[in-house]
Structures are given as structure tokens and as C-alpha cells.
Amino acid sequence: MYFRIFILIFVLTSNFSFSASAKDRLISAMVSAYETSGLLEQNRAVLRAADEDVATAASQLAPVVSWASSVSHSGSGSSSFDTSADASLSANYTLYDGGKNSLGLEAAKFSVLATRSKLVNVEQNVLFEAVTAYLGVVRETENVALRKNNLSVIGEELRAANDRFEVGEITKTDVALAEARLAASNSALAVAKGSYKKAVASYVAAIGEKPNSLEYPNFAPEVPSSLESAIAIALTEHPSINELKHLVKVSEINSKIADLSTGFTISLGSSVSFDEEGETSGNLSITASGPIFSGGKLYSSSRKKIALNEQVLARLYSSKISIEQNVTNAFSSLQVAQAAKSAAKEQIRATEVALKGVKEEAILGARTTLDVLNAEKDLLDARMQLMSAKVDENLSLYRLLLQIGRLTAEYLNLPVPQYDVEKYYDLVKSSPASKMKNGRELDTILRSLAKD
């Protein structure tokens, strides 16, 4: 939808190796979430606003030129009225400010880098929500299918129990046990159907469309093979770490700017005036100014910037600890899910053998109806555990990618038009005027945004 509008901002990825994997419905779901996410659009706009802060800071290094004109009509009593007109052109340029304006430009640039990292973090969360919603529907779909199958099996067991009761092989107690288990199975199926509807609602919210015949993912993303390498990648690549590193630079620069606020400024000014008779006059001046006393305001501001810098440093330290913990948890969850899947497969094999034996023994009278029902329940539990382990394994893979900072459209090579974070910045970084080429391109983009 936005490709036409952002023709100057978006670039299509040239390597679409996932095109062949488009049949993987999870990939399609992530593509849909990426392309329709209002949260991504919102934060892209935030990034463009940060880009404009660079343009504003750059303009402080340029001279300021302005004009003024006036027409006056004066007179009193019976005297004649006098009309006069004049126009003036003035310019002002800062020769020296201790480097405050240059530092302000640097701070704005680091703010842009921090905002870009924040956008990556938002992208990760959007894609992970899509994965979570997709696997949630898969889990609940299979849950409903297993519950329906179990209900059918228990129904058959109840009919068999009634037949055996009629011929006197079992008692009414056995029939009642089968009826109770059938009622419990009906209740479990109703709960499963309710959970499925909730999962579908979450899917629509995250991906923007209703699910259709979802399957287990047939693609497994590449993740680090060891916990140590996962932590090392996270501390280097996670967007939250990079965002805070850039914010530390911003706070350091702002602290320097606050220190310079007690210094002086030298500026060059000039003006030219014209009156209605065509006479001109002008002047050229050099002005130096600086604070003498402000009640401690400037020193307080400097101390505040130092405190804010310490705050961001503390956030960076805490974030590193949290990310290490999150990576460890995600890596452990993946190992647990993989082990649980292997164990569940073995459990199903053994339970199927046991169920077959119990049914044969029940026919011979060595087992009761309750034994058969318990064996059926054991098999259902084993299948539920396998289903849950398979979903958890897939979810843990993407959670690990999220925690190390690689759950992005670029890393997964999703077949989507990826947002070029540098294109808009390159257009505005020099603070172009509206009549310049870059300014006209920006005006075109903004008009397209407003029209859309």
C-alpha cells in the first residue's frame, strides 16, 4: 500500500531467497504483519521527525536573513498628513558560541541513530507477535482436533460398554465411568473451541487477516549453537543496547552544551534600509554577549545534564543484565522444548503399545473399562504434550532470535519492501529550503502522505 507513496523512501530487497518458501504460511503471516503494521508506520514517522531535528540543528550553523517593511501615515490637527514607507534587509551570523551549535548538531545525529535502533526493536516485536499469534492458532487448532478425536473414541468406548453391559460382562459402574469420561471430554472440547476463537482474534489483531489452514512451520531460522555465542551476539547487536549507547552519547553532548552555556557568544550582524525616496542606509556590527548572573539557573542545568547522563548509563548497565538473562531463558526454553518433543514421541510410541494391550486384556476380562479409559487418556496426554512441545520449540527459536536482536525482516530475508532509514535523512540532513531539489522531493512525499 505504501510502496507508491514512499517510492523515495522504500527500497525493494534484491535477494528474495524466501520466494520459494512463500508456501510456508508462517513466512506469509510475518510478511502480512510487517506490511500492515500501524505501529511500524507510527515509529517510522517518529524517525522522520528525528531526522528533521538534524535539519533544525544544521540550520543553526547558517546565517539568518530576514526582511521587514512598513508604511506609516501621520499627522495632527489642521496640519498636512505625511506618508512614509521603508523596507529593510538584515542578516545575522554567529561567529563564535564555544561550539554549542555544532554540538547540538552532533546530538541530533546520535538521536537519529537511537531512534533507528528503537524502530528495529519495534519491528522485532511486531514480527514476534505475528509468530506468537500464528503458533497460537496452530496449537489451538490441533488441540480442538485432538479433543474431537478423543470424544469420538470415548463415544465408541461408551457404546462398547453398553453392549457388554447388556450381555452381563461388565457392571453399571463401568458404564457410568464411561459416561462421566464422555461428559468430561465434551467439556474439554468446548474449552478448546473457546481457546481457538481467542487465538483467531489475536491472529487477526497481529497479522491483519483471518487464518486459513495453518500448518507447522517448515522453515527453521538459524540460531546460535551455544549460549555464550548467543549472549555475545545480543550484547553487540540487540537494538535496545544500541539505542542506549547512542542515548549515552546524546546525554554526554548535552552535558557539554550545558557547560558552555556560561560562556559568551560573538555574532556578526548587518542590515540595509530603503525609503520611499530611494535613499539607502546600512550598518555592520559585531556583537558579543554572555550571562553575568542568572540566579544559578545555568549551573543547575549543567548539574541536571550530568545526572541525566548517569541515568542513561545506569539504564545501559541494567539493560545488558536483562538481555543476558532473557537470552539465557530463551536458550534454555529451546533446549527444554527439543527434549520434551523427543520424550513425547517416545511416550506416544509406548502408550500406543500399552493401549493396544489393555484393550485386548479387557476383551479377555483381565482389564476393566476404567483401565481402557485411563489408557486412552494417557495416549491423549502424550499427543497433547507432543503438540505443545512442537509449538514451544518453534516459538523458542523465534524468541531466541528476538532476544539476540535478529528477528528482523532483513535477517530473515522476508520478501517485503524494507524501509530505508537513510533515504529521508539524506534528503533533510543539510536543511534544504523548499525551493531546492531536496526540498521539492520532500514536499512531494509530504503531500502524498497527507493525501493518503
Of 425, 356, 348, 354, the residue nearest 388 (C-alpha): 348
Domain extent for 399 = 10-68+84-407
* H/E element, 86: strand 82-96
Unique residue bearing C-alpha cell 522531493: 441
Alpha-carbon distance of 317 to 322, in angstroms, equals 9
Amino acid at 91: A
- Following DSSP, what letter does each residue of 39-61 receive, concatenated? HHHHHHHHHHHHHHHHHHHHHTT
Residue 189 is predicted with a pLDDT of 92
430 falls within a domain: no
Alpha-carbon distance of 66 to 56, in angstroms, equals 17
DSSP conformation class of 94: E
Cα-Cα-Cα-Cα torsion 54, 60, 65, 68, nearest 10 degrees, comes to: 90
- Please list the residues that pair with 310 across neighbouring strands: none
Q: How many domains does the chain have?
A: 1
Residue 322 is predicted with a pLDDT of 95
- Please list the residues that pair with 274 across neighbouring strands: 87, 280
Report yes or no: 288 and 138 within 8 Å, Cβ to Cβ. no
Alpha-carbon distance of 50 to 119, in angstroms, equals 12
79 falls within a domain: no
Whole-number Cα distances in Å, 195 to 25, 148, 185 = 21, 14, 15
185 falls within a domain: yes
The 10s digit of each residue's pLDDT in 18-69 is 333 434 789 999 999 999 999 999 999 999 999 999 999 998 888 888 998 8
Alpha-carbon distance of 244 to 241, in angstroms, equals 5
The 10s digit of each residue's pLDDT in 131-165 is 999 999 999 999 999 989 888 888 888 888 888 88
413 falls within a domain: no
> Mean pLDDT by 10-residue block, N- to C-terminus, for the chain (452 residues)?
37 36 74 92 93 90 89 67 81 90 94 96 96 94 90 85 82 87 91 94 92 84 93 95 95 92 90 81 90 87 90 94 96 94 92 88 80 85 90 94 95 90 85 63 61 54
Burial (CB count within 10 angstroms: exposed 0-12, middle 13-18, buried 19+), residue 394 = buried
Of 325, 449, 387, the residue nearest 2 (C-alpha): 449
419 falls within a domain: no
- Following DSSP, what letter does each residue of 399-442 receive, concatenated? HHHHHHT--SHHHHT-SSEEE-TTHHHHHHTT---TTSHHHHHH
Give the side-chain half-sphere CA count within 13 A for 398: 25
Residue 401 is predicted with a pLDDT of 96
In total, the chain counts a number of residues equal to 452
203 falls within a domain: yes
- Following DSSP, what letter does each residue of 69-86 receive, concatenated? EEEEEE--TTSPPEEEEE
313 falls within a domain: yes
Give the side-chain half-sphere CA count within 13 A for 368: 12
Amino acid at 286: I
Residue 2 is predicted with a pLDDT of 38
Whole-number Cα distances in Å, 370 to 160, 174, 201, 331 = 13, 7, 39, 41
Whole-number Cα distances in Å, 233 to 312, 322, 394, 401 = 22, 14, 20, 10
Residue 317 is predicted with a pLDDT of 95
CATH number of residue 398's parent domain? 1.20.1600.10
329 falls within a domain: yes
Task: Detail the DSSP E strand segments found in 208-342.
Answer: 265-275, 280-289
Alpha-carbon distance of 1 to 38, in angstroms, equals 12
Residue 12 is predicted with a pLDDT of 33
3-state secondary structure of 279: coil
Cα-Cα-Cα-Cα torsion 160, 166, 169, 170, nearest 10 degrees, comes to: 70
